[in-house]
Structure 1
Amino acid sequence: MTARDQDLRTQKIWARDAPHYDGWMRRFDRLMLRGGRDRLCERAHGRVLEVAVGTGLNLPHYPKGTDLTGVDLSPDMLARARVRAADLGVDATLSEASATRLPFPDGSFDTVVCALALCCIPDDRAAVAEMHRVLAPGGTLLLIDHVISHRFAVRTLQRAIEPLMLKLADDHQLRRPLHLVREAGFSVVERERYSFGVIERLVAVKSGQE
């Protein structure tokens, strides 16, 4: 499948799911994230980029006055994010772009945020590499996602549902972003796993020598 074909498939999936997404995620957040958005976004500083901003569920959790840019491949999700930003009075630049082809020069941001999105990006390695590229030296990556659990029973269930979730939503159940973050050249300075090992939150820093 070409990159263009994959983009079209992704947009079709989110056009279908956008009307229901917030309801699903409110339940997921309550049961699994348990304040994870707050703990993630409160660390954002300087020029901030949120990759795969979706419907903007993170917008209320950023510090007031955050210089925020958000991108998403789905115009349907972005439309809802723009409404949410307006309702909250949040000044954010929201535009359509692929996580694997970010339309920004090297070193454009001080913080990059990605929340519950790498699981649905087909080329997660390329996405993490792009996050590293657009961060300024010394910049911070803030990442939270569902990952393969370290608990055998949970991991077995994840393996069982993986084919269905990939077919329905390109939603990978068995990934571990930690390894990609290190491979891209980040230094992981904070790591938290909880909710039966399914949720992982990472704080990582790009070398200040680049």
Structure 2
Amino acid sequence: MGDINLEGVTKTYDRWAPIYDFVFGKVFDEGRRSTIAEADRIGGRVLDVGVGTGLSLSDYSRTTKLCGVDISEGMLRKAQQRVREFGLTNVETLAVMDAKQLAFKDASFDAVVAQYVITAVPDPEATLTDFVRVLKPGGELILVNHIGAENGPRRAFELAFAPLARRLGWRPEFPWDRLVNWAAKHGGVTLAERRPMPPMGHFSLIRYRKS
């Protein structure tokens, strides 16, 4: 499996920033709304990692306190514009940050939301571990992501498409076993839900609860 490097991801998403909402807004809409509903159910203080252009921010309940981080300055500039435009006073901060090295204290958040992030970071397991670090005990890690097919035509397509996908900043062949193995090794999380998402179950909403 080839590597994704942080500098490459940053440049890719800076380039995508001007057209990201138009290209990806509708494709990822169902997963985005589902993760927000779960975060609002928990409430309190929520960290949205990979907040991007801030498409999600106005959909959260105004009673949910939000912190948003992203590796792309270009994306965050659009998110900041959105906060001003919609008067989102529940957004505490938006900051450029590496998802694997979050500049927050342990147990800072009631929930961590990461939408379409795990397949786009260089070290998914270390990134997930840092997400759990900043969660309060009993808090939830809420992911929505593409999980690679285990066999069949979709698996063959994903492997063939992988080199191009990496240049776009993500891995299409990410297997479920990587999450299973990470959770077992971590030992401090419990799988609460895995729910297929449209289109055609290519994406999954995945919730882990911190012990």
TM-score, normalised by the number of residues in structure 2:
0.86
The offset of 1:61, in angstroms, is 2.3
1:199 equivalenced with 2:200 (yes/no):
no
Distance 1:164 1:6, change over 3 A: closer
Report 1:115-126 matches (<5 A). Answer: 115-126=115-126
Task: Tell me the equivalent position of 2:37.
Answer: 42
The offset of 1:158, in angstroms, is 1.1
Q: Which runs of 5+ in 1 are unaligned?
A: none
CA contact (8 A) 1:120 1:169 kept: no
CA contact (8 A) 1:114 1:143 kept: yes
TM-score, normalised by the number of residues in structure 1:
0.87
The offset of 1:156, in angstroms, is 1.6
Q: Which runs of 5+ in 2 are unaligned?
A: none
Q: CA RMSD in A?
A: 1.9
The number of residue pairs the alignment matches comes to: 198
CA contact (8 A) 1:188 1:205 kept: yes
Task: Name the CA distance, whole Å, in 2 between partners of 1:71 and 1:128.
Answer: 15
CA contact (8 A) 1:40 1:142 kept: yes
1:146 equivalenced with 2:146 (yes/no):
yes
Distance 1:151 1:64, change over 3 A: farther
The offset of 1:169, in angstroms, is 2.0
Identical columns (%): 33
Question: Which of the pair has the greater relative contact order for Cα pairs under 8 Å at 6+ separation?
Answer: 2
Stretch moving more, 118-127 or 144-153 = 144-153
Report 1:71-82 matches (<5 A). Answer: 71-82=69-80
The offset of 1:198, in angstroms, is 1.7
